[in-house]
Structure 1
Amino acid sequence: MNPSNYLQTDTKIFYRKLWSLYMPSKIKIIVWKISWNYMPTFSNLKLRRVMAEDRCVRCCQGEEDTNHVFRLCPITKEIWNQLNFNWVLNNSIPDLWNWFTWVFNQGTNEQYNFFFCCGLWLIWANRNKLIYEGKSSTSQDISKQIISYISELEGIKNKELILEANARPKQYIQRVNVAIYFNAAFDSQNFRSASGLVVKDEGGRTIATKSILHVNVASPFAAEAHAGFQATKLGINMDFYILDILGDSKTIITKCQNANRDRSTIGAILSDIQSLKPHFQEISFYFIPRLENTEAHRLAKEALKNGEEQYLEGGTLRSVRGEMEQNRLGSSS
């Protein structure tokens, strides 16, 4: 990118989005360097006469410039494909800076830009491990690293939100409709997930719980989308005509509230959710903090751990209820 363009509107928007992402500064700095082509790729080092050879050591098929490392290298393409992010491989945008701004605009929300940035950072980290430590990782290994790292960051963020929620005075909202709470647990090593669903009546009493297993799930976001879809299906199966669906993934809830076509990697699942809405007289999607969604979270976590689906009418599974009670007593002591 030409530094003289730094004050342009699209540049300001891009960096505002980048610096606002919830992730370590080291990742933001790497992405910033990539966007300015400040990375010590072999091509840049050759231009500075630091080295004579600029061929990519991962594929040995092309000149290792910034574009090649993060877009054109066959290994990189495999990584984006395995993450279901193959849409970023847009060959009609050859310029690196225009590609960056296009990806951030296409992502439409901070979750996908967050995923993209973590991917860039770990692609570069594994490239360095190969060059400086002789440690070679397959595209599948790197894909799993990216998903695992994102899950770890999401866990840290959720803990901070819980601490923040605990510090605030509790405000309990009396619901006027039947509600289905949903949550997901995700296994980044085997690309599996589980959906946890809790059905509560207008008075907040649990009338049913259900857990469902899923395979070939690409990301934590896809896992949450599957859970939202299963919650909507359960509402139809239980003959509810007016229903509230609640989840603690702000990204998924926002997308479910929006009737426009979603072009992200989970667009097909969201389209399925939208197609079920006409079955209801009234259906609403609401975001709630993780602290208010503990029961669904425990259901999903247990189902994924045990590899078993469950359905129970009239209450909560005993094991989940016991764990919740232990946590409640532990926090109050």
Structure 2
Amino acid sequence: MAYFNISLLAKQGWRLLNFPNSLVARVFKAKYFPESNFLQLSLGSLCYYIWRSIWATKDTLEKGLMWKVGTSMNISITQDIWIPDYVNGRLLSRVDNLQCDKVADLISSNEREWNKELIVNTFPEDVADSILRIPLSMEPHEDFWLRVENRRSLDPTAYALQNIYRDFYRKLWRAEIPTKIKIFIWKISWNYIANKVNMNIRRLVNNSLCPRCGDGEETLNHLFCECPVSIEVWRVLSDLDLTGFTNVEFSDWLTMVVVSLSLEKCRTFCIALWSIWGDRNSRIHENQIDQAKRSSDLFIAISKNWTDKWRHPPGSRIKINFDGAFDERSKVSAFGVVVRGSRGNILISSVDIHRGVHAAFAAEAIACRGATQIALAMEEEGIIIEGDSLTVIKKCQNTDQDKSQISPYIYDIHSMKSRDRSLKYEFIPRSANNLAHVLAAESLRRKEGFYLFNKVPDFAEAQARSDNEREPD
């Protein structure tokens, strides 16, 4: 409770920094820090108890604050925290030959790029590398505070996961299945579902027998592995070859199966688990009796719905697909963009190579920005921009200021979108974005960019033809 109370009080300090025009911030500022800001003031005397309580969390709040570089006119190179993941927070005495004070002096304002020569000649190698990895937006915006996780204050063993669990979650989030199914798999991995055993423990039901077969308690093992209805589903899906995973606890079984399967088979496996749970609920709430057939039919229906192909844009509109590819070792990314008309005809295909990219997440955002630039240059109404990064698409759809690690790219996208409000951003699964993916991945391997009209490179022609084959309505 003490830590919880500190968190609530620190949140009030955060609001004083970020909402200086609110009534409470103006009152506190007028009384306690008229000539400075919340982080710079000392406590003083004759303070009310509530103000002393908020002030007491100032050090805690400051440890979790970092400047996000925009214009960088307000950020001190040595006194402020502005370099992500820098071990000591501030530079302080690590710079001997520094000739400037503000971060803005390290940026070539005309190109909106870091002055690499100045930075490399001024800072130690590790610091210079960290600075050069900070992304900059094409158009400057105001600097703002970010709250970051104070990793040094955490118990390093508190959230430790064995490698197999890390691989399990990576595979799960990469699978091309609906988000609700991913969340469901996550919930059963932690036994967070309302099966009869869990409900009986909480005294919500009188017995814990399986509602489908009535033969044994409805544990997770019974529900998904041992019940005759579930056994029939796995018999239908014999190509998954689950015979080697027996006599283990359910959580271990789930983890090992997901890790061992290919992405495509993992997708099938997760949909089957979802289908089993859906059948079980129908048995209880809808009095369905042909359970095995229903589970198989439900699985087939869901599987078909989520094996998506690229779809032609409606009417006479234009559709732009983008994807990013990233090389962790060299910190190089490539974005693939393909523009197609209502008949699926290729209008433009483009790839650009970017160096000094810090994460795959940023590669997707750079790709989306590239697609938006092409859309504006075409000067067409109602262009649809599609990508398979749900997070990037949601950030493009959201009008609020983004404060994540990719905020410079999202800021540029929002700025461009303000010039053409008919632009529409839509999420699609990877299976419907294969052409853009092929362009990005192969071009990253070749380290070659291009900009082509009315065609794609030879290596992508087969995928372009496959995408343009219409499925029956």
Tell me, yes or no, if the aligned pair for 1:241 and 1:281 is still in contact at 8 Å: no
Match of 2:376 in 1: 236
1:210 alignment partner in structure 2 = 350
Number of aligned positions between the proteins: 218
8 Å contact from structure 1 (residues 241, 279) kept in 2 = no
Which amino acid is the alignment partner of residue 304 of structure 1? Answer: L
Distance in 2 between residues matched to 1:252 and 1:245, nearest whole Å: 12
> Does 1:227 find its partner at 2:363?
no
Deviation at 1:166, TM superposition (A): 9.0
Residue 2 of structure 1, CA deviation = 8.1
Instruction: Note the 1:27-66 alignment, pairs <5 A.
Output: none
Give the match for residue 168 of structure 1: 304
Distance in 2 between the 1:168 and 1:179 partners? Answer: 24
Name the residue aligned to 2:47: none
Change (3 A) 1:156 1:241: closer
In structure 2, what is the Cα distance between the partners aligned to 1:186 and 1:285? 22
CA distance in 1, matches of 2:394, 2:88: 35
Q: Could you give the per-residue CA deviations for residues 242-292 of structure 1, whole angstroms, max 9, x where no partner exists?
A: 211000000000000001100111111100000001332511100001000
TM-superposition CA deviations, 1:159-181 (whole Å, max 9, x none): 35875699314675752321110
**Structure 1 residue aligned with 2:411:** 271
In the superposition, relative to structure 1, how do residues 323 and 252 fare at CA in structure 2: closer, same or farther (>3 Å)?
A: same
What TM-score do you get using the length of structure 1 for normalisation?
Answer: 0.53
SS at structure 2 position matched to 1:209 = strand
Instruction: Compare CA radii of gyration and give the structure with the larger one.
Output: 2
What corresponds to 1:291 in structure 2?
431
1:317, CA displacement in angstroms?
Answer: 1.7
Cα distance in 2 for partners of 1:166, 1:314 equals 36
Unaligned runs of 5+ in 2: 5-84, 92-125, 136-144, 177-262, 272-300, 469-473
Cross-structure match for 1:25 = none
Indicate how the Cα distance of structure 1 residues 325 and 270 shifts in structure 2: closer, same or farther if over 3 A, else same. Answer: same
Distance of 2:153 and 2:455 partners within structure 1? 57
User: SS in structure 1 opposite 2:404?
Assistant: coil
For 2:430 and 2:361, the matched residues in 1 are separated by 15
> Which of the pair is proportionally richer in helix?
1
Measured against aligned partners, the alpha-carbon deviations of 1:75-121 in whole angstroms (never above 9, x if no partner) come to: 9x989x68869966567x99659xx9xxxxxxxxxxxxxxxx9xx75
TM-superposed deviation, 1:216: 0.9
| SS of match in other structure, 2:433 | helix
SS at match of 2:344: coil
The 1:269–1:221 alpha-carbon spacing in structure 2 relative to 1, beyond 3 Å, is same
- CA 1:232 to 1:154, structure 2 compared with 1: closer, same or farther past 3 Å? farther
Q: Please state how far the C-alpha of 1:209 moved relative to its aligned partner.
A: 0.7
Aligned CA distance change for structure 1 residues 327 and 305 (closer, same or farther; 3 Å):
farther
* 1:157 counterpart = 2:175: yes
Asked if 2 retains the 8 angstrom alpha-carbon contact of 1:197 and 1:231, the reply is yes
Rounded to whole Å, the distance in 1 between the matches of 2:148 and 2:430 is: 34
- Paired position in structure 1 for 2:453: 313
- Other structure's SS at 1:282 match: coil
* Correspondence for 2:138: none
How far does residue 157 in structure 1 lie from its aligned partner after superposition? Answer: 2.9
Q: 1:193: Cα distance to partner?
A: 0.5
Which residue is equivalent to 1:40?
Answer: none
Aligned-pair identity (%): 27
Secondary structure at the aligned position of 1:199 is classed as strand
Q: Is the 8 A contact 1:162 1:291 kept in 2?
A: no
Task: Name the CA shift for 1:154/1:255 in 2 (closer, same or farther; >3 Å).
Answer: farther
Name which of 389, 394, 400 aligns with 1:254: 394
CA distance change for structure 1 residues 251 and 182 in 2, over 3 Å: closer, same or farther?
same
Q: Is the 8 A contact 2:325 2:440 kept in 1?
A: yes
